[in-house]
Amino acid sequence: MNDFNTAKGIRTYKAALFWMGTSIVLLILLIIVAVWNPFAKASAASETIVTVNGEKITKDQLYDEMYSQGGSALIEGLINKELIRQEAKAKKISVTDEDIEAELERQAANFDMSVEEMMSMFEIYGFSSERLRSEMESQAMMRKLLAEEIKISDEDIQQYYDENQDQFTLPEQVRASHILVETEEEAQEILSELNRGADFAALAEERSLDTASAVNGGDLDYFPRGRMVEEFEEAAFTMDIGEITKEPVQTVHGYHIIKKTDHQEERIQPLDEVKDQIKSLLEDERLYTLSTEWIQEKRMQAVVEYANE
């Protein structure tokens, strides 16, 4: 478990929300393209997609409604991306696959997810991994364009750490492993095997109904109070390190045999543990602020012509 993820307030969501907003707008574009092809025959636009009490609703009407709700924001986003691309090209700045992966990891961390989990979240809404990578490519370009301006010093990191001690206070937590079974009889059988010297991790892998932890020998990692059901929590927090419950612990999930493997008192994380995360946080905040200013300046200088004006 990454202790840093338990420190409240440390992550910034500005950048994450910005790209989530962009993603939603681009999702609208995908839907628009799906229902309206600008190169299709004119008759296709008037095709009826639904009838309500005899009144027809056409593809054209759907397109107009969707465009009015997200079209202008979409165009503005595409203009901004083009300005970033042009500036990067002029300065001979290129983006590698490694740069894109780094941006994906940063954004996933902002959502408190793995990259795979974030990709899955977007794909649920029809937003492909290729499109997300395209968005991260633009952000990587912007990061390189503003590389000098977003540098964070050790003094910046120390100041943030000193001023935000509450964010680095970790609650009391324990680490435990468990074997979950359906009946008390089976739990007693497993306890007997453990008392005869059987390996806890091996039994967890073989017999625990909690498949997520079973693959790790029953390990549940560290958890604070309030995370587990009451009966499980009470047992885990009152046991000694290395101890196995003498009797099965019954919860709504079934019967647990619990092994306590570590216990940490409430503590403040030292700077060395969180230095890299603070640096990333401050870089992203500075990038968000400076990129907004950069875009505004470039928009004032750019010649933007709308075809329908």
> What is the biggest distance separating any 2 CA atoms in the chain, rounded to whole angstroms?
84
pTM over 0.85: no
Domains of the chain as residue ranges with CATH: 3-162+271-301 (no CATH), 172-265 (3.10.50.40)
Q: What is the pLDDT of residues 150-169, one digit of tens each?
A: 999 999 999 999 999 999 99
Range in 56-60, 71-75, 227-231 the model is least confident about? 71-75
Q: What is the pLDDT of residues 89-124, one digit of tens each?
A: 999 999 999 999 999 998 888 777 889 988 888 888
Residues 6+ apart with CB under 8 A from 104: 115, 118, 132, 133, 136
